[in-house]
Amino acid sequence: MTLPLQPAGGAPEVAECAGLPLLDDLDPGVRARILARCRAVGIPAGTIILEKGAANDTLHFLLAGTVHIHFDLASLEHPIVVPPGRMFGEMSVIDDLPVSAWVLAGTDCRVLLVPAELFWGELVTTPGAARQVMRSLAGLLRNNAASLAAALQEKLKHEALARELSLARDIQMGMVRRADPWFPGQRRFEIAASMEPAKLVGGDFYDAFLLDDDHLVVALGDVAGKGISAALFMVRALTLLRSHAQRWQSLAATVAGVNDALAADNEAAMFLSLFMGVLDLREGTLDYVNHGHAPPLLRAPDGRAALHPVKPGIVLGMMEGARGAAGTLRLPPGGTLMLYSDGVTEAEDPAQAQLGEAAMLAAAAALPAPEARSLIEGLAAAVAAHAGTAEQADDITMLAVRWLG
């Protein structure tokens, strides 16, 4: 809300103007004559009193409340606070240049408005008034310089943190496999994946690698929480998974080793859900272990989509000795397995309604193209359409494998 050019108000009371610079030392008769030509107005909190770049022909004295000075409305943090008894707007009155900053009512306040012609014709010509103006300006410049220095330091801290987080995101995204080229020359399967953290960094991950010519390992994990702590735990979990996979004995042994290593030094009591499986590329069978993760989506060659029922198992990394729920499923030639984090089904619209499993399955079944990449892109579009203008609340990660037979 902007202050009207001619705000409603009345003549100020002499008592409420007591202690104001310039006015307090005036002869009572002169002060009364000047105040009779001024206006005192009440201004609600949040009102724009002076607009940066606008012309100003009024000197303002703050009688009650607080006023905030901002050099940029994009960030309202760390304003220069004007207390009662101080004047503002005098710079544009003196140099006849546009206002150099935004001035907002920090609280409900009452302001004395002194027209520029009255300032020049009555106040400055009064003995001692010019010196008082210079003192006020000097004090204002000192206070502004200190406030600007503090604001600049805070801005530099935020910029440094933003650079660090951006670098962390690049490192994290660089840890997951890239879809192209991922498995060049493969004719028995196609694979696609995507990961979109809710923050600059997140707690989801996916992975896929060949044990040999006939066995493909796929995994998708979702650390509880999001942000920096989840990202650090994600990096540790993915690193341990790859380390134990290099000493592969079996799926169960690999996942158990990761769980016990995470749980052995987990003072923060963090954990993750994980679905990990080994796809036999000769037969289309997938042996899997599930640690508290969402059931995978299976898309048939004719487009029908369903969730494969799985036992939840115990989340990964919370306690040593915890074991997941094992099972087996079979893909038909042309069938697709899709793993996903709960950021997909729990994506919220502006009314906080979640997408849900039924809508995810409907979106998957409605896609005309059978390719794994088309499934990932189609579901990402469905999530975005459902969310609309709502802020992304959780990491969104998907991995799809289509067995070609």
Query: pLDDT tier at 4 (50, 70, 90 boundaries)?
Result: very low
User: Which residue intervals of 265-355 are DSSP H helices?
Assistant: 342-345
Whether residue 165 has pLDDT greater than 80? no
Give the residue-averaged pLDDT of 137-151. 59
- Mean residue pLDDT of the chain comes to 84
**Tens of pLDDT, residues 70-86:** 877 766 777 888 888 88
Whether residue 88 has pLDDT greater than 90? no
- Model-level pTM? 0.62
Q: Round to whole Å and give the CA distance between 347 and 387.
A: 6
Cα dist. 52→5, 155, 294 in Å?
A: 15, 21, 53
Extents of the domains making up the chain: 15-151, 177-403
Query: pLDDT tier at 182 (50, 70, 90 boundaries)?
Result: confident
Using an 8 Å Cβ cutoff, are 344 and 194 in contact? no
Q: Round to whole Å and give the CA distance between 16 and 198.
A: 53
Cα dist. 115→120, 122, 128 in Å?
A: 9, 11, 20
Q: Round to whole Å and give the CA distance between 189 and 193.
A: 14
Using an 8 Å Cβ cutoff, are 311 and 289 in contact? no
Q: Give the pLDDT score at 91.
A: 78
Whether residue 159 has pLDDT greater than 80? no
Place of tokens 């892109």: 377
| Residue 12 identity (one-letter amino acid) | P
**Tens of pLDDT, residues 302-314:** 999 999 999 988 9
Using an 8 Å Cβ cutoff, are 28 and 4 in contact? no
Interhelix angle 251-264/228-245, rounded to 10 degrees, is: 140
Q: Give the pLDDT score at 283.
A: 94
Q: What is the CATH number of domain 15-151?
A: 2.60.120.10
Burial of 319 (0-12, 13-18, 19+ CB in 10 A): middle
Per-residue DSSP letter, 40: E
**Tens of pLDDT, residues 8-51:** 566 677 677 877 777 776 778 777 888 888 989 999 999 999 99
User: Which residue intervals of 14-62 are DSSP H helices?
Assistant: 28-36
Query: pLDDT tier at 123 (50, 70, 90 boundaries)?
Result: confident
> The domain at 177-403 falls in which architecture?
4-Layer Sandwich (3.60)
Q: In 3-state terms, what secondary structure has residue 207?
A: strand
Q: Give the pLDDT score at 26.
A: 73
Q: Round to whole Å and give the CA distance between 277 and 340.
A: 14
Using an 8 Å Cβ cutoff, are 172 and 235 in contact? yes
Whether residue 336 has pLDDT greater than 80? yes
